[in-house]
A and B are shown apart, each in its own frame.
Chain A
Amino acid sequence: MSHYFEIRDLHVHYGAIHALKGISLYVEEGEIVTLIGANGAGKTTTLRAISGLVRPTSGEIRFEGEDLLRYRPHEIVALKRIIHVPEGRRVFARMTVEENLYMGAFTRTDKDGIEEDLERVYALFPRLKERRRQLAGTLSGGEQQMLAIGRGLMGRPRLLIMDEPSMGLAPILVESIFDTIQEINRQGTTVLLVEQNAHMALSIAHRGYVLRTGEIVLHGTAEELRNNEMVQKTYLGMA
């Protein structure tokens, strides 16, 4: 059986450190799947392996049945449309909001499609439209996160990978960002969401994986994970 996107027995080493110890996971088309775990569990490493930024020591990463490991990072974006929204709201500070968004469409040549997506992003984030001519570095934290997500959408992703979109944002903003992620998914984008904020992530995801020190320790539907005692204790902060 072949999944839309699948990781099988993935190992990553940083020198002597064994960062990922054989993780496996899959994402079906149209899903939101979340990968939760504490600091240093290996969440970002997983994402970096998917985007081709780290070479795994062994294992497979497949998208629609095709091996991703033979592609270089920019090819994964350009050919496979797997797009990574990096953690920590990294926008191009000295470009305007709109230039940032156009950079998201760097690998595309369909001018009409780009315009369409620009309007779509502006519809999702009206704030960005108001500030389109402003330098991205002068935006507030929440707006920068919106811009980073919008920029990711400009590549018309077939799989959108988000690294901690809630990081460092006020609770009220976190909620609105997650609403938007859900909206993006409803419009047809498959999402792999990496989060420390397990509560929020599990409230919008279909399924989830729990990563601990380089291993998947738990897998299930969001509902199941929310009710799991260990998850409740460790990640949801319930007694």
Chain B
Amino acid sequence: MKTQLRLMFRAGLIGGLIALHLTLVGMVEALNKREIIEDIITLGQLLLMGVGLGTAVYALGKLPRERRTQREGWWVALGAVSVVALILGLLALAIKPLNLRFMFQNASPALVRILTFDTPGVLGLVKLWAFLLFSGALALVYLYIPQPWDRTLSYAVGITLLMGILRALVAPLLPDIISDFLFTPSGLTQIGAVILVVLWVLFLHYWPDFKARLETWQKEAQTPQGAPIRRRLNIAFLVAILVLLLLPAILRDKGSYLFEVLDMVGIYIIMGLGLNIVVGFAGLLDLGYVAFFAIGAYTMAVLTTPELPFVRQYIPPMNFWEALPIALLLSLVSGILLGVPVLKTRGDYLAIITLGFGEIIRLLVISDLLKPILGGAQGITGVARPTFGSFVVNESWEYFYIILVTIGIGIFISTRLRDSRLGRAWKAIREDEDVAVAMGIDHVSAKLTAFATGALLAGMAGALFSSRLYSIAPHSFNVLISINVLCLLIVGGMGSLPGVVVGALALVGLPELLREFAEFRLLVYGAALVIMMLYKPEGLWPEKARVSRVAREVFGDRLKTLKVE
């Protein structure tokens, strides 16, 4: 009895502190403006619900499995959420008499109204308690749903809510009639939510069957008689690719905002691919990666802008395609130049030196001394757009194609390098540099190549970035960019290429689409990283333990029957 009480209070206090934090930084209030399901629940309430659910799950997780569904489980889970309710209730009561707003500017009357569901007096507090009890009970209900359905149902509800939250992404993809029916300007309609949950339950329920059928098809296709199936699969694959490629052109009218976001995600993916080579493959922690991004961006800007009279008296403005190779070359060379002195240092030292290099570049760009060349604090406008004959790439969705092609090239370079001798040398250096040298690996040239390739990709991203934005300013090149790119690698999974894409979508795409989160972006980043490191340190889409190329050549088909343990 005593241990259960302790567990209940511990879970409740943790949940309560998290809830207190989220409310006092203003997150609940800010998110409360978004109604995820019309007249039913807002994003802020969803957040509190998540805290309640999480508290109950945490408390239940500490109990042995068979005791969770007994009376004990109910008491502990509901008791823990009641503690959360108590803490939030005390907050709601204390805000006015204690004048908490003096210290916490978000402790506003609006917050009280949110916490008490617009109901004054004791009834409001009861509503808060009931709300949290309901959230906690969800965790218990989950335990009673029979096997495949518990997962299916919870996933379906989760995905549906996610679609509501990401309405800005999903709604433009659907035809107007359907999206008007399912979505409100801020979230889902009530009917829409119900329909989506049902659809997702059906989909998830039949998905394993469908997947099994696909797999048998694939197996059949590999047999000698499988030629027709193979042909059909190939056609289906091509059609899918074609549709994906045409999608931006089809959707351009509806989602210019969507493509602005996707362009940014794409530029981060290119940078991520580059940094992935440096950090993920070769294990060199580079915190000044933004420097190469800036060099690419500024080279493009300086060479193509009609401004900057000082520069223009020597070189006439170039077009995009003339400036691009120079931008790439300069970032490559700067990668090598920084690499030579820096690569003798290791680990933390390397990180600090590169960090310094990033700052140096930013300070050079902002300096008054170099203002005639680099534009100073105001930056440079009038950067050239890419042209194809008389066609000028102007719109976000048009840029998206160029970015897509660049990502393709970046992925190609990355996979080729990874599977090459150089890739193996990088891997060995990452594991143990001394031993790698003892194996006869030229660590200096291997590290320099990694640095230079990474710099090249960052330069490319920079050139696209400045051209896409038409103008650049020094403040876009601060250390946070380096950190962001590093974070997206960590979240996606170090060294994994799909991980780069997933990481960029999660850390760059989501915050852009969730405008409400914008001011809490760093908070969410931090929380996401801590949670990742605790529960999935290898990343969302980790690199598979791959069999080396030599081994594959030597063992050929036999490898398929051997399993990597």
Contact = CB atoms under 8 A, between A and B. Distances in A.
B437 A73 contact: yes
Contact of B443 (A74, A83, A86, A99): A74
Interface residues of B, number: 28
B127 interface: no
Contact of B435 (A92, A102, A107, A111): A92
A179 interface: no
Interface string B295-317: 00000000000000000000000
Contacts of A92: 427-428, 431-432, 435
Interface in B424-476: 424-425, 427-428, 431-432, 434-443
Nearest to A109: B421
B564 A96 contact: yes
Interface in A40-95: 51, 53, 72-74, 76-78, 83-86, 90-95
B437 A111 contact: no
Nearest to A72: B442
B565 A51 contact: no
Interface centre among B431, B438, B441, B554 (most CB of A within 10 A): B438
A103 B439 contact: yes
Main secondary structure of the interface of B (DSSP, over half): helix
A77 B438 contact: yes
Interface centre among B434, B436, B437, B441 (most CB of A within 10 A): B437
Contacts of B554: 111, 115
Nearest to B440: A77
A29 B554 CA distance: 32
A98 B551 contact: yes
A198 to B, nearest CB: 25
B435 A90 contact: yes
Main secondary structure of the interface of A (DSSP, over half): mixed
Interface string A106-142: 1100010011000000000000000001110000000
A111 B427 CA distance: 21
Contacts of A93: 431
A155 B435 CA distance: 13
Nearest to A51: B438
A207 interface: no
Nearest to B562: A133
B439 A104 contact: yes
Contacts of A53: 434, 437
Contacts of A106: 421, 424-425, 428, 439-441
Given A102-B548, A134-B565, A74 B434 contact: no
A74 B441 contact: yes
A151 interface: yes
Contacts of B71: none
Contacts of A86: 434-435, 438
Contacts, number: 81
Contacts of A151: 439
Nearest to B555: A98
B214 interface: no
A134 to B, nearest CB: 5
Nearest to B421: A106
A74 B425 CA distance: 12
B553 interface: yes
Contacts of A74: 437, 440-443
A108 to B, nearest CB: 9
Nearest to B550: A102
A215 B375 CA distance: 63
Contacts of A76: 440
Interface centre among B432, B437, B439, B442 (most CB of A within 10 A): B439
A72 to B, nearest CB: 7
B94 to A, nearest CB: 52
Contacts of B437: 51, 53, 73-74
B2 interface: no
Nearest to B548: A99
B550 to A, nearest CB: 5
B404 to A, nearest CB: 33
Interface in A133-160: 133-135, 151, 155
Contact of B440 (A99, A107, A111, A134): A107
Interface string B541-565: 0000101101101100000001111
A99 B434 CA distance: 17
B563 A133 contact: yes
A67 to B, nearest CB: 19
Contacts of A91: 432, 435
A96 B563 CA distance: 12
7 contacts: A51-B437, A96-B545, A102-B548, A111-B553, A133-B562, A133-B565, A155-B439
Interface of B: 421, 424-425, 427-428, 431-432, 434-443, 545, 547-548, 550-551, 553-554, 562-565
Given A90-B434, A98-B551, 17 more contacts: A53-B434, A74-B440, A86-B434, A90-B432, A90-B435, A91-B435, A92-B431, A95-B427, A99-B548, A103-B428, A104-B439, A106-B428, A133-B563, A133-B564, A133-B565, A134-B565, A135-B565
